[in-house]
Amino acid sequence: MIKGLSHSSVYVLDQDSAKAFYTEKLGFEVRQDLRIGEFRWLTVGPADQPDLDFILMKPGPPQHDAETEKQIRELVAKGALGGGVWKTADCRGTHAELAARGVTFLQEPAERPYGIEAVFRDDSGNWFSLTQPHAFDPGKDWG
């Protein structure tokens, strides 16, 4: 029986640079940084969510052949891949804090039917939603 999600992956172009971005700019903590031969297992996560590790995965062997690695790197670099939604209690405040640390935002905080959302990119090109969710109102018509 599945109990929950423990790890999620995002492809990064350079693991050292990604480690610095996720820890220094986003404030995540390093959970694991292990080398197994040429393979590096690098995970980070928000301190307030210890049960979810975010794998900063470099495309390539043993998962990918050379052509697939090239394609993934191109997609990441051009910003074609989204990594998910990060939840915050204060989107505007978190946006200001992250922007001051040098995080690049593609969209400023704005009201959406589901909450207040801003969109940012990591240093590889992946984009993420930063969302302050609204309380769910099943009777509200957003259409």
- Residue 61 is predicted with a pLDDT of 86
68: in domain: yes
pLDDT value of residue 135: 78
Model confidence at 83, pLDDT cuts 50, 70, 90, reads confident
Number of independent structural domains in the chain: 1
Chain-centre distance for alpha carbon 11: 10
CA-based R_g, the chain, Å: 17
Query: Strands, DSSP E only, in 19-75?
Result: 29-36, 39-45, 53-57
Q: Averaged over 81-91, what is the pLDDT? A: 93
pLDDT at res. 138: 57
* Nearest-angstrom CA–CA distance, 131 and 122: 16
pTM: 0.90
Predicted confidence at residue 41, as pLDDT, reads: 96
- For residue 91, with 0-12 CB atoms within 10 Å meaning exposed, 13-18 middle and 19 or more buried, which class applies? buried
Residue 44 lies in a domain: yes
What is the domain-level CATH number for residue 16? 3.10.180.10
| pLDDT at position 77 | 94
Residue 97 scores a pLDDT above 80: yes
Domain of residue 77, residue span: 7-133
**Considering the domain boundaries, does residue 36 fall inside one?**
yes
Average pLDDT of span 18-46:
96
In a domain, 143, yes or no: no
Query: Is the model's pLDDT at 137 over the cut of 60?
Result: no
What's the mean pLDDT in 60-72? Answer: 92
